[in-house]
Amino acid sequence: MIDLNILGKKFGRRTVIEAPFRISKSQFSCKCVCECGNIKLVNVSSLLLGRAGKCRACPLDSKIKIGSRLGSRTIIKQVENHVSTRGRQYLTRCDCGQEKIVRSCDLANNRSLICRSCTSKLVMTNYNKSKNI
């Protein structure tokens, strides 16, 4: 039997903020808060085995910092309560001035680093160079 007295204990960057509760015959979950402020229900066995020590896209150890540049985008600010609830989102500005809200996982995985209009210009420039125009 595992010890479920983990309220207030820290596992990696997460701290247990509610007592564990049973979700099935043999599984328990508890509410945890990451150092970045993200709150999530986490499987207790994952915590105890060291598999859930931080958020998936935790900005604390990420290259996602306000004011930093990723590709041709500059991160302006984190967006709260946007339409999608799948992780953190950031307002970014491309070098051409176009602003877009981008998910943190897309930024962390080097997706959405250039806007569509800049991509089109880049493709045309490369095409013209290859044709010697």
Q: What is the pLDDT of residues 17-49, one digit of tens each?
A: 998 888 888 889 999 988 777 788 999 888 888
- The domain locations on the chain are 10-48, 59-130
Cβ of 50: how many Cβ atoms within 10 Å? 9
Q: Give the CA distances from residue 73 to residues 60, 61, 93, 95, in Å, rounded to whole numbers and listed in that order.
A: 20, 19, 5, 6
Model confidence at 1, in pLDDT bands (50, 70, 90)? Answer: very low
pLDDT digits (tens, 9 = 90+) for 68-116: 888 888 899 888 765 555 567 889 998 888 898 887 777 776 777 777 7
75-82 CB contacts, 8 Å cutoff, 24+ apart: 75/107
H helical segments located in the chain = 44-48, 104-108, 116-130
